[in-house]
Amino acid sequence: MGNTPSGQRPPKVTAQDRAILQLKLQRDKLRKATVKIQVIINKENQIARQSVHEGNKRRAMLALKKRKYQENLLDTIEKQSDSLETLISTIEFKLIEKDVVFGLEEGNRVLKQINGELSMEKVDKIMDDSAEGIQYQEELSERLGELMPRALDDEVDEEMAKMEREEMDKEKEKNPGIPEVSTLPELPEAPRTEIKNHPKKGEREEQKAEPLPA
Amino acid sequence: MDTSKFELPAIYNFPPFFTRQPNLQTYETQLDHWRKLILDYCKFYKIWALSLNGLPLATGDSITNGDGDGDEGDADDDDADDDDEDFEISKNSLFQNNKINRSLKNDFVLEIYKKMIDNGESGWINDKNHKLGVLIYWHSLEEWANIIMDWIVNTGQEGAVLTLYELRKGELSESQEFSGMNLQLLLNVMDVLSKEGRVRILKDEDGSVAGVKFGG
């Protein structure tokens, strides 16, 4: 019985289990006794009937008396069997109750433990910690800002401006007319300025042609 | 039990069926037919055990009680009993066909039983005394183990302690297929469950099995 080839472990047997088993064995015995008594009762009944049939009154009376006695016995046994049965189910139910109480206790303990882990001071401390962290971060960026001050910023600004200029130039080279097109309502004035700035013939021709479709 | 009768196969009225066939192939088929017939017959009539003469045996309340110490005594008793049993063959033995006036010889019956035991369809009531007859497993022991475990689970009895008597004759199990099971057969089933760790067998002070505790 000791070694279990497959992984499952056999159920543990407690003192209560043994007690219940003993009660059940007693109950089984009583039940077997009732079966036996029932047989005797039937037999006595048969004897009585037969004796009456044969006219043997005394024998019939005796058999009936015996039957009555056995019937009384059967009654007592059934009562005992009943009380055993009640006892067994009471114990079984109490065991379940015990389990329930144990479960409640266990749950309570875990709940307390979790609550302990979630104490106010701890939460406060965590909140403080994170606040500190945020503050530190802010300070850090401030310091960084101080450490590499205007110089970098200026450089960045300069580069930005340069890039914008380059971009504009590129666009002008590609579609030099576009700026004028976008300011259509002021068309009449536009040519004058253009002419002053860029006195290239080709461009002038284009600009002259432009207004036509409009 | 006589409300509906078991329908015997046609071969049952074929005289050579009752004689051990010399041809090996025919013999094998003959064995197979007998095996199936015995299983079906026992299942139909809910017979748990058969004597060497093919008589249904009682559910065996007393069979295992003397298992430990009474073996030698049993053997002696049985030799004397044999004559009585021979007397009773005709009562209701599957191995005796009065219609065609044929019966199986004990040697051949033993061969059939042995074949069934090899197939896991049967087991000796007592390993040391084959004359006591065999248990017929019209469900294999493993099948019975599952049937009983299913019943335990379905009736919410996991973790409960049950006596063997309760399993066999209890009110709760009354409508179950295993109700009334032969004691030794039940013990064999419990052995299977115990080896799998699904039950723990509880023993009495005298070492006999008193009950079982079912696992969850």
CB B105, CB B96: distance < 8 Å: no
pLDDT at residue A201 greater than cutoff 60 = no
Nearest Cα to B95, choosing from B147, B134, B137?
B134
Q: What is the mean pLDDT of residues A166-190?
A: 67
- Domain B141-214 = CATH 1.10.3720.10: no
Q: Which of A168-182, B6-20, B157-171 has the lowest mean pLDDT?
A: A168-182
Q: Is A95 on the interface with B (CB under 8 A)?
A: no
Residue whose structure tokens are 């013990």:
B187
- How many CB atoms sit inside 10 A of residue A36's CB? 13
How many pairs of residues across A and B have Cβ atoms under 8 Å apart?
A: 59
Structure tokens, A198: 């860029």
Domain boundaries, given as residue ranges, for chain B: 10-68+83-136, 141-214
The residue of B59, B61, B158, B161 whose CB has the most chain A CBs within 10 angstroms, and thus the best one to mutate to test that interface, is: B161
CB contacts of A30 in chain B (<8 Å) are none
What one-character-per-residue DSSP string does A83-145 give?
Answer: HHHHHHHHHHHHHHHHHHHHHHHHHHHHHHHHHHHT-HHHHHHHHHHHHHHHHHHHHHHHHHH
Q: What percent of chain B has pLDDT over 90?
A: 60
Q: What is the mean pLDDT of residues B113-131?
A: 92
A48, burial (CB in 10 Å: exposed 0-12, middle 13-18, buried 19+): buried
B82, burial (CB in 10 Å: exposed 0-12, middle 13-18, buried 19+): middle
pLDDT at residue B55 greater than cutoff 90 = no
Q: Is A82 on the interface with B (CB under 8 A)?
A: no
**Minimal-distance CA residue of chain B relative to A22:** B210
Q: Is B209 on the interface with A (CB under 8 A)?
A: no
d(CA A62, CA A66): 6
d(CA A124, CA A78): 69
Query: Who among A8, A21, A32 is closest to B202 (CB)?
Result: A21
For the domain made up of B10-68+83-136, the CATH class stated in words is: mainly alpha
pLDDT value of residue A185? 57
CB contacts of A6 in chain B (<8 Å) are 195-197
pLDDT value of residue B80? 35
Q: For A75-103, how does the pLDDT look when each residue is reduced to its tens digit (9 = 90+)?
A: 999 999 999 999 999 998 998 899 999 99
Q: What is the mean pLDDT of residues B82-90?
A: 35
Q: Tell me the three state secondary structure of residue B19.
A: coil
3-state helix, strand and coil shares in percent for chain A, rounded to the nearest 5: 85, 0, 15
CB B94, CB B8: distance < 8 Å: no
Structure tokens, A56: 């043997």
Q: What is the mean pLDDT of residues B6-13?
A: 90
Structure tokens, A172: 């002008």
Q: Is B203 on the interface with A (CB under 8 A)?
A: no
pLDDT at residue A206 greater than cutoff 60 = no
pLDDT value of residue A3? 46
Chain B contacts in chain A segment 136-195 (CB below 8 A): none
CB A17, CB B161: distance < 8 Å: yes
CA dist A140 → A133, A137, A143, A145, B144 (Å): 10, 5, 5, 8, 76
| Domain pair B10-68+83-136 / B141-214, same fold | yes
B1, burial (CB in 10 Å: exposed 0-12, middle 13-18, buried 19+): exposed
The DSSP element (H or E) to which B123 belongs, if any, is strand B122-124
The DSSP element (H or E) to which B209 belongs, if any, is strand B209-214
The band of A179, judged by pLDDT with boundaries at 50, 70 and 90, is low
Question: For residue A12, what is the DSSP state?
Answer: P
Q: What is the mean pLDDT of residues B81-109?
A: 69
pLDDT value of residue A101? 95
What is chain A's mean pLDDT, rounded? 81
More confident residue, B116 or A214: B116
pLDDT at residue A21 greater than cutoff 80 = yes
Buried b (16+ CB within 10 A) or exposed e, B55-64: bbbebbeebb
* ipTM score assigned to the predicted complex: 0.71
CA dist A182 → A23, A171, A185, A190 (Å): 105, 13, 9, 11
Q: For A116-129, how does the pLDDT look when each residue is reduced to its tens digit (9 = 90+)?
A: 888 888 888 888 88
The band of B215, judged by pLDDT with boundaries at 50, 70 and 90, is confident
pLDDT value of residue B75? 36
The band of A149, judged by pLDDT with boundaries at 50, 70 and 90, is low
pLDDT value of residue A97? 93
Q: For B135-187, how does the pLDDT look when each residue is reduced to its tens digit (9 = 90+)?
A: 999 999 999 999 999 999 999 998 899 999 999 998 889 899 999 999 999 99
pLDDT at residue A137 greater than cutoff 70 = yes
Residue whose structure tokens are 């010399």:
B22
**Minimal-distance CA residue of chain B relative to A19:** B161
pLDDT value of residue B3? 57
The DSSP element (H or E) to which A170 belongs, if any, is helix A150-174
